[in-house]
Structure 1
């Protein structure tokens, strides 16, 4: 199941799995604290096995265009999981004052 959530109103659960699906250079320029770089082109079914099946995967990108595509790709691999697209991405997180590394 794919759900959308505005990043500016999102309460990050403890131990949340947050995937930043931008390329490594964009990720290195600044990313949401705690986000793991999982470029959209590297997403695979094998990657999903590294995350507990009951845990939602939160997905973001720079501005909101890659994250929905990544969620759709993940859903093709496993429809029983919950994928949450963080709308607005890293740019909105910066504007909102969320912690950026």
Structure 2
């Protein structure tokens, strides 16, 4: 099941599964706190099955996250998948902590 949550209404924390589905280079240039880089092309049933609880998905602005959410829902429609609308750009705009690995 896919739902949406505006990034401005989200509080990242270590106890949440947050997947940034951009490529590694984009992720390293800046991502929200506690996000794990899980590029779109790495999403599969094994990964989904090895993860418990809700999964929060975002990208830079929304395009890849929409595709990732659809794919995850197709793999397991019983899982709660939350699309963080606005993505990393939206997070920056509202002053969220952005981590850079560069």
| Pairwise TM-score range, normalised by the shorter structure | over 0.9
* Preserved contact between residue 30 and residue 98 of structure 2 (Cα < 8 Å): yes
Residues matched between the structures, number: 99
How does 1:24-39 map onto structure 2 within 5 Å?
24-39=24-39
Higher strand share: 2
Deviations 1:23-75 (A, max 9, x none): 000001000110000000111001112211xx110000001111011000001
* Preserved contact between residue 13 and residue 33 of structure 2 (Cα < 8 Å): no
Measure the CA separation in 1 of the matches of 2:65 and 2:33: 17
Partner of 1:56: 54
SS in 1 for 2:88: helix
Measure the CA separation in 2 of the matches of 1:83 and 1:92: 19
Task: State the Cα distance separating 1:12 from its structure 2 match.
Answer: 3.8
Deviations 1:56-100 (A, max 9, x none): 100000011110110000011101000000000000101111111
Q: Choose from 70, 73, 92 the match for 1:72.
A: 70
Q: Choose from 72, 90, 93 the match for 1:92.
A: 90
Q: List structure 1 segments (4+ residues) > 4 angstroms apart after TM superposition.
A: none
- RMSD value over aligned CA atoms? 1.1
Partner of 1:47: 47
Unaligned runs of 5+ in 1: none
TM-score (norm 2): 0.92
Measure the CA separation in 1 of the matches of 2:45 and 2:95: 34
